Amino acid sequence: MDMKSLYVAGAATLLFVSCGRQQNSTNNTQLPKYPAMVVTAGTAELTTNYPVTLRGREDIEIRPRIDGFIEQIYIDEGSAVKQGQVLFKINSPQAEQAVTTAMAAVTAADAQLATATLNVERMKPLAEQGIISNVQLQSYQNAESAAKAAHAQAKAQLTNAEATLSWASVKSPVDGYVGAVAYRKGSLVNNQNVLTTVANTTSVFAFFSLNEKALTQFLGGLEGKNQIEKLKHAPEITLTLADGTVYPYKGKIETIAGVVNTATGSANFRAEFPNEERLLRSGASGTISIPRYMDKVVVIPQKATFARQDKIIAYKVQGDSVVQKVITVLPTPDARSYVVIDGIGEGDRIVTDGLASLSHGKKVEIETL
């Protein structure tokens, strides 16, 4: 065999070996495996949070009803008080003087009435005997009637003066807890000054607001023909305090304002929470969570998605490849799942793990969970 034949035979052998290795390499390459799930429809509970301000069931401003100096303070901030308990003593010389004057007027009226009565009793026998005329007797009787009226008026003025003086003892109108005491002993006060507040916190009101859209959605999801019936079917709500503590007792939405605030475009709500243990204080703040139940919705784990800018994306299995799908979601309270509103539906398959190594259109092998 000449050199040319040997060269051709060697080249053919090399080409055959090379092709065989390439074929074996292609046959041995396997597609990466990714776990996937088939999307199904079910029920889900979502929550919507709103900031709230807490107020006592009765939050009463305590004001003096008379002018004067604070003579005594019988309570301290945070004290528990009963209805009718004296909180402050006001020194009001004018009120005291009014009582003294009224008492003197009653004494004078007593004397005038006694004299008028005595005159009638003295003149009546004389008139019967014809010694004096009936006209003279009538004048004495009229004087007695005037004295009686003056006496009644004087007593009424005394009663009024004593009532005014009683206002010097500033009392609590309800059972509750004392707020901040704004004035101290010796302060000059009048009925324009708020001495303190007394809050009845056996139960606590939580005030919050919803805009018109949220209000419509909230009422639309409740059973009933009118607002009153719908509120009866409203779910119980949860209160989270400012420090993140979840209040152990549930509350109930009681009222919705009948008028939407034109300045804010929102309607005011009032919910009530029991507070027998006095854990809640008037003036505190927090957040309430209103549950919302949805039927026949798709729920997927959050780990089966990733965020890109302001969009949530999932990988949908399509044949032997995956494609990116932008989805619209609502987070669940446990922060582990999403309720899918749009983008994927029941029966679709999505990749649930290893998303960082995927790309749009990548060929994969799926292992359905």
Task: Enumerate the domain spans of the chain.
Answer: 33-43+297-368, 49-56+199-294, 64-90+171-194, 93-166
Taking a C-beta distance cutoff of 8 angstroms, is the pair 176, 76 a contact?
Answer: no
Paired tokens of 279: 């854990």
Q: What pLDDT sits at residue 10? A: 45
Q: Write down how long the chain is.
A: 369
Homologous superfamily assigned to 49-56+199-294: Efflux pump adaptor protein, beta barrel domain (2.40.30.170)
pLDDT at 1 > cutoff 60:
no
pTM for this entry: 0.64
β-pair type (33-38, 365-368): parallel
Q: Which CATH architecture has domain 33-43+297-368?
A: Beta Barrel (2.40)
H helical segments located in 233-348: none
Residue whose token pair is 């003086």: 165
**How do residues 185-240 score in pLDDT, each as one tens digit?**
999 999 999 999 999 988 999 999 999 888 888 888 888 888 889 999 899 999 99
Beta bridge partners of 262: none
317-322 mean pLDDT: 91
Q: What percent of the chain has pLDDT over 90?
A: 59
pLDDT at 21 > cutoff 80:
no
CA 88 to chain centre: 32
Beta carbons within 10 angstroms of residue 329's beta carbon: 20
Q: Which CATH architecture has domain 64-90+171-194?
A: Beta Barrel (2.40)
- Classified as helix, coil or strand, 124 is helix
Backbone angles phi, psi at 198, to 5 degrees: -120, 120
pLDDT band of 248, cuts 50, 70, 90: very high
Same fold, 33-43+297-368 and 93-166: no
pLDDT band of 20, cuts 50, 70, 90: very low
Q: What pLDDT sits at residue 328? A: 92
**How do residues 267-316 score in pLDDT, each as one tens digit?**
999 999 999 888 898 889 999 999 888 888 899 999 999 999 889 999 99
- Classified as helix, coil or strand, 368 is strand
**How do residues 93-151 score in pLDDT, each as one tens digit?**
999 999 999 999 999 999 999 999 998 898 888 888 888 888 888 988 899 999 999 99
Q: What pLDDT sits at residue 369? A: 67
Q: Which CATH architecture has domain 93-166?
A: Orthogonal Bundle (1.10)
CA 190 to chain centre: 33
Beta bridge partners of 324: 315
Q: What pLDDT sits at residue 322? A: 93
252-275 mean pLDDT: 90
pLDDT band of 29, cuts 50, 70, 90: low
Taking a C-beta distance cutoff of 8 angstroms, is the pair 109, 147 a contact?
Answer: yes
326-339 mean pLDDT: 88
